[in-house]
Amino acid sequence: MASAKRIFLGYMLSIIIGIFVGLAIVRFKYLDENVSPLILGLQTLPSICWLPFSILWYGLNESAIIFVITIGSTFAVSIAIESGMKNINPLFVRAARTMGAKGFSLYWNVIIPASLPSIISGLKQGWSFAWRALMAGEMISATKGLGQVLMVGRDLADISQVMAIMIVIVILGVAVDKLIFGKMEINIRQKWGLDKV
Amino acid sequence: MSVVVENISKSFITKNDTINTLSNINVEFHKGEFVCILGPSGCGKSTLLNIIAGLEKETSGRVVCNGKEVKGAGPDRVVMFQEPALFPWLKVIDNVEFGMKLAGIPKDERREKAMKYLKMVHLTRFQNCYIHELSGGMRQRVALARALTLDSEILLMDEPFAALDSQTKNILQLELQQIWLETKKNIIFVTHNVEEAVLLADRVIVMSANPGAIKKEFHIQLARPRQPDNIDLAYLAADIMKELKEEVEKVAKAEFDTNWTSKKDLVLPDSDSDMGTGI
């Protein structure tokens, strides 16, 4: 399905960019002081507001929609990574340093695994942002895909089609959440012992 | 092969003034020696340990470890903290292997050595558990095993048993003594517990507060393995307690309201009243 391909591409791109931006902010204090407020500001901008920009930039095609998806979820991912890494227990880092961890190995062996719970919740949030951006993009500028079918339903005044598509969107969202993120979360919660309330 | 602390001072700058936590500390730790640093809360003993570990920067002075100046944390000076500081995303065995993995030791060798030290702390049955499945005492044992795997000659311990219940603490103290007798590492052990210090150490360094400085050193030449109910230990502990009492009172006076007096509200016993012990 066209929508699935778009969201997959856009979401993967946003994860990659988001991780790099998040890591860079954590690593370099200069970036943290100067870029973080900007990212927070951009995060408040609804992804549909990027649509006119991306249509002007890319034209009415696939790239425009993928751009909107990417930009819609990148900031959520990078903010989650940044706050996740800043809020890990400093004792983990101290202990690792006395055992000889520094630079890359410190990040790979300690900081990233320690912040995984919050990284996953960031990815989850990014997913829902990406999904919204996809719908917005498709409703306005696509020739196929779920959003476009939704708009066709509106044009034909066919309320049953409109409702059916809305339900499909919700079901897809829940399915991905349960099957992918849900499993990761349960796995981590068991390992860390967070499920014993 | 030893750790030499030369003229270490440390001050923190706050909004209003500078606080001198440590002033001109000079001390030497020898190879294979078990030293306890004892002092009232807030005297900077943990700060001193962190400086030796390289986790905190000194304001002036230097620490020389095996002839080289300390420039940061490193695996030649492993630290065991009050909290176990184990990684919850790794199994017990992987936690023990962690330091060796960083050092790039091959997997088979790593596993073998990790099992050896897990055996030493009697936890081989739990090698495949996650950390949250262990009790507090077991966690601290895993942390000890992890610290031992790195084969560093120096082991720094920052009140490692302070958060444990007293029975578990007693068992672990005796085990640590046994492990020290087997491995002969240079252990620098920070504590506020006089009995613990006397039980474990060859040398007890008593620190004074505000600013932190070394007040007195006690050499403890009792036969090992020592038992906590030994009467000679109690005698020595009373001796050290007398030295410490003054400092505790000083800190209390600085921290509490002005109506606190050491005579009225004194908690620590006066050792002079126990006539007849230790003769």
Tell whether the model's pLDDT for residue B275 goes beyond 80: no
Give the other-Cβ count within 10 Å of A114's Cβ.
22
Enumerate the residues of chain B whose CB falls inside 8 A of the CB of residue A105: 102
Does residue A197 belong to the interface with chain B, where contact is any CB pair within 8 Å? no
The conformation of residue B207, written as its DSSP 8-state character, comes to: E
Within-domain flag for B36: yes
Enumerate the residues of chain A whose CB falls inside 8 A of the CB of residue B131: 193
SS3 B185: coil
Enumerate the residues of chain B whose CB falls inside 8 A of the CB of residue A195: none
The per-residue pLDDT of chain B, averaged, comes to 85
Within-domain flag for B140: no
Tell whether the model's pLDDT for residue A133 goes beyond 80: yes
Within-domain flag for B97: no
Which B positions 130-149 lie with beta carbon below 8 A of chain A? 130-133, 146
Q: What is the DSSP string of B100-168?
A: HHHTT--HHHHHHHHHHHHHHTT-GGGTTSBGGGS-HHHHHHHHHHHHHTT--SEEEEESTTTTS-HHH
Domain architecture of chain A: domains with CATH: 2-192 (1.10.3720.10)
Does residue A114 belong to the interface with chain B, where contact is any CB pair within 8 Å? yes
Tell whether the model's pLDDT for residue A32 goes beyond 80: yes
Q: How far is the C-alpha of B6 from the C-alpha of A141, rounded, in Å?
A: 72
The conformation of residue B91, written as its DSSP 8-state character, comes to: B
Min CA distance, B103 vs chain A (Å)? 7
Closest Cβ opposite residue B150 in set A92, A99, A113:
A99
- Per-residue pLDDT at B267: 55
CATH number, domain containing residue B164: 3.40.50.300
- B98, B133, B140: which to substitute to probe chain A, counting the most A Cβ within 10 Å? B98
ipTM: 0.80
Q: How far is the C-alpha of A184 from the C-alpha of A117, rounded, in Å?
A: 9
Within-domain flag for B102: no
Domain span at residue B263? 3-76+152-273
Kindly give the pairing relationship between strand B3-13 and strand B18-29: antiparallel
Kindly give the pairing relationship between strand B154-158 and strand B186-191: parallel
pTM, full prediction: 0.81
Q: How far is the C-alpha of B279 from the C-alpha of B274, rounded, in Å?
A: 11
Within-domain flag for B117: no
Q: Are B202 and B33 a contacting pair, CB within 8 Å?
A: yes
User: Domain count of chain B?
Assistant: 1
Min CA distance, B194 vs chain A (Å)? 26
Does residue A95 belong to the interface with chain B, where contact is any CB pair within 8 Å? yes
Within-domain flag for B93: no
Partners of B69 in the β-ladder: B64
Within-domain flag for B146: no
* Mean of pLDDT values over A102-128: 88
Within-domain flag for B183: yes
Q: Are A3 and A134 a contacting pair, CB within 8 Å?
A: yes
The conformation of residue B17, written as its DSSP 8-state character, comes to: -
Reference B105, options B151, B70, B37; nearest CA is: B151
Tell whether the model's pLDDT for residue B263 goes beyond 70: no
Q: Out of B49-53, B67-71, B148-152, B269-273, pick the least confident.
A: B269-273
Nearest chain A residue to B53, by CA: A98
Min CA distance, A104 vs chain B (Å)? 11
Enumerate the residues of chain B whose CB falls inside 8 A of the CB of residue A109: 98, 101-102
Q: Say which residues have a Cβ less than 8 Å from residue B60's Cβ, sequence separation at least 6.
A: B7, B8, B9
Which B positions 148-167 lie with beta carbon below 8 A of chain A? 150, 156
